[in-house]
A and B are shown apart, each in its own frame.
Chain A
Amino acid sequence: MVRLAADMHIHTVLSPCASREMTPPAIVREAARKGIALIAVCDHNSAGNVSAVESAAAALPDGPAVIAGIEITTGEEVHVLGFFPDAYAARAAAEEVAAGLPPWRPLAARTSASPAAAGQREPEQELVDAEGKRTGIETRMLAAASCFALSAAVDLIHRHGGLAVAAHVDRRSFSVPGQLGFIPREVPFDGLEISSAGAARGRTADFVSLGLPLLSSSDSHFLEEIGSGLTILDVEAPVFSELCKALRGVGGRGCAIA
Chain B
Amino acid sequence: MNLGDIAAALKLEILTPELSATGGEEIVAAHASDLLSEVLANAPAGGLLLTIQVHMNVIAVALHAGLAGVVFTSGVQPEEGVRVRAVKEGLPLLSTTEGTFDTAGKLYALGLRGRV
Contacts and interface: CB of A to CB of B under 8 A. Distances in A.
B56 A179 contact: no
Interface residues of A, number: 12
Which among A177, A179, A186 has the greatest number of chain B C-beta atoms within 10 A? A179
Given A177-B37, A181-B40, A149 B57 contact: no
A182 B57 contact: yes
B115 interface: no
Interface residues of B, number: 13
Interface in A147-198: 149-150, 172, 177-182, 184, 186
A76 B55 contact: yes
Interface string B77-116: 0000000000000000000000000000000000000000
B10 interface: no
A172 B37 CA distance: 8
A182 B61 CA distance: 8
A182 B53 contact: no
B49 to A, nearest CB: 12
B21 interface: no
Given A76-B53, A180-B61, A182-B60, 9 more contacts: A76-B55, A172-B37, A179-B35, A179-B53, A180-B37, A180-B55, A181-B36, A181-B40, A181-B64
- 7 A-B pairs closest in CB distance: A181-B36, A180-B57, A181-B61, A180-B36, A178-B37, A181-B40, A76-B55
28 contacts: A76-B53, A76-B55, A150-B55, A172-B37, A178-B35, A179-B34, A179-B35, A179-B36, A179-B37, A179-B55, A180-B36, A180-B37, A180-B53, A180-B55, A180-B57, A180-B61, A181-B37, A181-B39, A181-B40, A181-B60, A181-B61, A181-B64, A182-B36, A182-B57, A184-B55, A184-B56, A184-B57, A186-B56
